[in-house]
């Protein structure tokens, strides 16, 4: 979110500089283009409709009131752009009624106020409903509010009588007067305050969609400020700085849409992967793990009769432990932090071995999945070795992040001689496997132990 703050600050600084330049010389950066108005209004209608659809989708997922009101604000803007700006220009470009211009302008101002309300209300859930007609109901409410705004505009008498030129929800028109300029500034203030509120929400929820929406609102605020001071009787066929800012706002809205769609498909893919992992874990638990548990129990009971049965029992116990590890890995959330997964695994192993486990785990941030899985397996192997062979009273598990990730597993058990050749026989201790896992990640493995002085395993990976 820090990068998003820089983007928003840059928008305000650059937009503010353009606004000052516009105030000093309104013709600066203006482009003569008599036919550009329908293109701009079409872009505005499409952009507002896209934002309304995205906000509706977010509300369907979150059921938060602010997402619902945001959808209403964008729906109101889209309806005003379509009904009172775009369609009248297409139907009769040279004979647009003054009441239509007033309705378009009032609808745009109302959408700014509703947008501010959406940014100010607390994040509280609306009534939970699975009704598929809620979208139609919301559209009906938007149309009713749009009609009410249009009716109020047509009944305003001479208040909007000086609006002329092409109808628009944002551009005031030719020689509109001070009252319309004040309304533009009020709308600009609403968008500016909403932009700041959205930035705080983006940082709090770590949601980039709200960040891009804050940038869009900032550009809208700057555009409305420019329109408030534009002498449009001199720039009737010009694309002004306000128009450039308005186009930029809708381009950012397209970016927000791309971010939202990407996030949606990523969440969908992660959900599908997690569900498949859980299915495999259920199959392992109900099949392989149950059979291994039965084998281990039966061979343990007959272990006194044969050394071979004792070996089978130990092998079955190792296979059972491996199946439990696979089940835990498959049911673990894809984005679960390493420190959380390590804490859960350590407590589970400590409870199964009957050994007290002391944790000292620092947050290490986002870790690649292969690195996380390798470190968890090394920690599991070190703890199981300590429990099976060292008979310790406690095991210390530590995790630190200093120029790389450091994992430590130390116990106060019987210890052993590291130069004993049996230590590096994989079937005996598994030390060679731990070393190979660490080195495959470009890391280092260190083992320290002395008879009756405990054992410490330390792994560092970049």
Identify the pLDDT of residue 93: 67
Whole-number Å distance between alpha carbons of 56 and 50: 10
Identify the pLDDT of residue 315: 65
pLDDT along the chain (462 residues), means of 10: 80 84 72 75 85 83 83 87 84 76 85 89 69 68 79 70 74 65 88 90 82 89 84 61 85 81 73 70 61 67 63 67 67 73 85 85 82 86 82 88 87 79 51 83 87 87 87
pTM, to two decimals: 0.58
Whole-number Å distance between alpha carbons of 58 and 62: 6
User: Distance of alpha carbon 359 from its chain centroid, rounded?
Assistant: 30
- 444-449/405-411 β-pairing: unpaired
Neighbours of 276 (CB within 10 A): 11
Identify the pLDDT of residue 193: 93
The candidate with the shortest Cα–Cα distance to 217, out of 173, 187, 185, is 187
Identify the pLDDT of residue 233: 46
Identify the pLDDT of residue 426: 43
Identify the pLDDT of residue 250: 85
Give me the architecture of the 337-462 domain, per CATH.
Answer: 2-Layer Sandwich (3.30)
Give the domain ranges of the chain: 2-262, 337-462
Per DSSP, the three-state class of 62 is helix
The candidate with the shortest Cα–Cα distance to 432, out of 441, 443, 423, is 423
Whole-number Å distance between alpha carbons of 386 and 416: 11
The candidate with the shortest Cα–Cα distance to 41, out of 130, 170, 165, 209, is 170
Identify the pLDDT of residue 192: 92
């Amino acid at each position: 979110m820090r990068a998003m703050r820089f983007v928003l600050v840059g928008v305000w600084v650059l937009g503010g500089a353009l606004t000052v330049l516009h105030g000093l010389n309104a013709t600066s950066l203006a482009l003569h283009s008599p036919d550009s108005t329908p293109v701009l209004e079409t872009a505005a209608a499409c952009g507002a409709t896209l934002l309304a659809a995205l906000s509706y989708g977010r509300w369907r997922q979150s059921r938060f009131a602010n997402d619902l009101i945001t959808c209403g604000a964008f729906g109101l803007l889209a309806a005003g752009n379509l009904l009172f700006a775009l369609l009248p220009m297409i139907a009769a470009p040279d004979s647009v009624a003054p009441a239509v211009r007033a309705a378009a302008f009032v609808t745009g101002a109302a959408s700014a106020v509703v947008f501010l309300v959406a940014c100010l209300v607390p994040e509280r859930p609306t009534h939970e409903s699975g009704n598929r007609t809620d979208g139609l109901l919301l559209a009906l409410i938007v149309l009713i509010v749009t009609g009410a705004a249009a009716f109020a505009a047509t009944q305003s008498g001479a208040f909007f009588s000086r609006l002329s030129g092409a109808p628009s929800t944002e551009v005031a028109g030719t020689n509109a007067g001070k009252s319309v300029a004040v309304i533009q500034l009020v709308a600009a203030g609403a968008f500016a305050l909403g932009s700041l509120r959205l930035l705080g929400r983006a940082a709090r929820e770590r949601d980039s969609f709200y960040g891009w929406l804050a940038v869009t609102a900032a550009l809208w605020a700057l555009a409305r400020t420019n329109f408030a001071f534009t002498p449009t009787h001199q720039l009737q066929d010009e694309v002004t700085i306000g128009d450039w800012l308005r186009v930029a706002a809708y381009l950012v809205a397209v970016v927000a849409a791309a971010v939202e769609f990407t996030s949606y498909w990523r969440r969908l893919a992660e959900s599908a992967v997690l569900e498949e992992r859980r299915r495999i874990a259920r199959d392992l638990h109900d099949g392989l793990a149950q059979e291994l548990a039965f084998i281990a129990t039966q061979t343990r009971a007959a272990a006194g009769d044969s050394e071979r049965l004792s070996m089978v029992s130990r092998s079955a116990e190792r296979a059972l432990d491996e199946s439990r590890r696979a089940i835990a890995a498959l049911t673990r959330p894809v984005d679960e932090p390493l420190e959380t997964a390590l804490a859960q695994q350590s407590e589970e192993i400590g409870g199964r071995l009957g050994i007290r486990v002391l944790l000292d785990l620092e947050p290490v941030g986002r870790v690649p999945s292969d690195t996380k899985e390798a470190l968890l397996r090394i920690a599991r192997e070190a703890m199981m070795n300590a429990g099976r062979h060292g008979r310790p009273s406690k095991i210390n598990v530590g995790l630190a992040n200093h120029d790389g990730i450091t994992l430590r597993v130390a116990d106060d058990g019987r210890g052993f001689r590291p130069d004993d050749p049996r230590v590096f026989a994989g079937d005996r201790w598994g030390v060679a496997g731990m070393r190979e896992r660490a080195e495959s990640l470009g890391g280092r493995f260190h083992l320290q132990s002395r008879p009756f002085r405990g054992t410490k395993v330390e792994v560092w990976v970049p």
